Structure 1
Amino acid sequence: MGIQIINLADRMEYYETVCQWIWKQWASDKPIENVRYAVSHNSQTDRVPMTFVALEGEEAVGTVSFWMNDLSFRQDLSPWLACLYVSEEHRGKGIPRELQNRVIEEAKKLGYNELYLITTHDDYYERSGWDFIERAPKPSGDFTKIYRKDLTI
């Protein structure tokens, strides 16, 4: 059974699962209502922001978002791939690459020539064709890394 990538706006029955993943992974220090509000407004079908869900059969196994900005210090960079997450039991199956490809496809369709992301991971995105740009400070005082993907090649 293959992986299907769908737009969350078309299948809102996966909304709560996506909210739980994002909250646990990146925002558990905030009320989950904040994440629910953001996800509900980041689920467009024809413009940024969008949220996608990876399905194996009818089971949600991962998510990714496509935002105008994911780093308040860098308003000059846009758009962004954000919140890439795959459930632990489904890792190692190439699902992150499929989720990335869906955002890349949508970005190209909307006329963008580049895409950005932030991460604390080492060496993962380089293997997927992303170029490291710089380290950037986070509000917490530590650092994150900014990557860029050229969509014209």
Structure 2
Amino acid sequence: MPQMDWLANHMDKCDQMAEWLHREFSYEFAQQSLASWQQEFAAGQRDGRWKCLIAMEHGQLLGGASLASHDLPDRPELGPWLACVLVAPSARRRGIAAQLIEGVCSHAREVGIITLFLHTHSQRDYYARLGWDVLERFEAWGKEQWLMARCL
């Protein structure tokens, strides 16, 4: 069974998680090198900008999800965000993403956040099943995107 913990407690996994995100969401990182993103993501674990909950099993990173202060440059008035949700392909279909998402939502609720936002281009229906509401459709990074929110 996977263990959930904050990435800040396992910084040896930070570069790997950042690399997975950079590769999976390459369209968002077109203007940022992997090394630059790894530095930003690591700093974000220390200052809370990218507070990431990770899943591990037998010392191996399985995936993560972040509570981010900003995640959509064109919408600086919105936030905080559920961001950087990613589970390794070999660990998918085990409910890990849902556990990570719920962990981030629970933490956000505990610290007084009442609404979280996210954007997705391919997982709208999945997030809707987890209680997220579509706010609007928009175009970004050359893809159709969905802005969603969840009241905590």
Find the residue that maps to 1:50 and give its secondary structure: strand
User: How many residues were matched structurally?
Assistant: 148
Match of 1:57 in 2: 58
- Contact residue 5 and residue 53 of structure 2 kept, 8 A: yes
Tell me the distance in 2 between the aligned counterparts of 1:44 and 1:115.
Answer: 21
- Contact residue 15 and residue 42 of structure 2 kept, 8 A: no
**TM-score between the two structures when normalised by the length of structure 1:** 0.89
Residue 136 (structure 1) shift: 2.2
- 1:58-108 superposed Cα distances (whole Å, 9 cap, x missing partner): 111001111112111212211100010000011000000011011101111
Quick one: which of 35, 38, 47 aligns to 1:36?
Answer: 38
Question: Compared with structure 1, are the counterparts of its residues 104 and 78 closer, same or farther at alpha carbon in structure 2 (3 Å cutoff)?
Answer: same
Q: Does 1:22 align with 2:24?
A: no
* RMSD (Å), alpha carbons: 1.6
Tell me the distance in 2 between the aligned counterparts of 1:84 and 1:44.
Answer: 19
- Contact residue 80 and residue 115 of structure 1 kept, 8 A: yes
Match of 1:4 in 2: 3
- Contact residue 45 and residue 52 of structure 2 kept, 8 A: yes
Match of 1:101 in 2: 102
Tell me the distance in 2 between the aligned counterparts of 1:120 and 1:141.
Answer: 10
Quick one: which of 122, 125, 134 aligns to 1:123?
Answer: 125
**TM-score between the two structures when normalised by the length of structure 2:** 0.89
Tell me the distance in 2 between the aligned counterparts of 1:99 and 1:36.
Answer: 21
- 1:32-74 superposed Cα distances (whole Å, 9 cap, x missing partner): 11211121121038x4530121112311100111111211121
Tell me the distance in 2 between the aligned counterparts of 1:38 and 1:20.
Answer: 12
Find the residue that maps to 2:74 and give its secondary structure: coil
Q: Which consecutive residues of structure 1, in runs of 5 or more, have no partner in the other structure?
A: none
Identity of aligned residues (%): 27
Tell me the distance in 1 between the aligned counterparts of 2:76 and 2:138.
Answer: 13
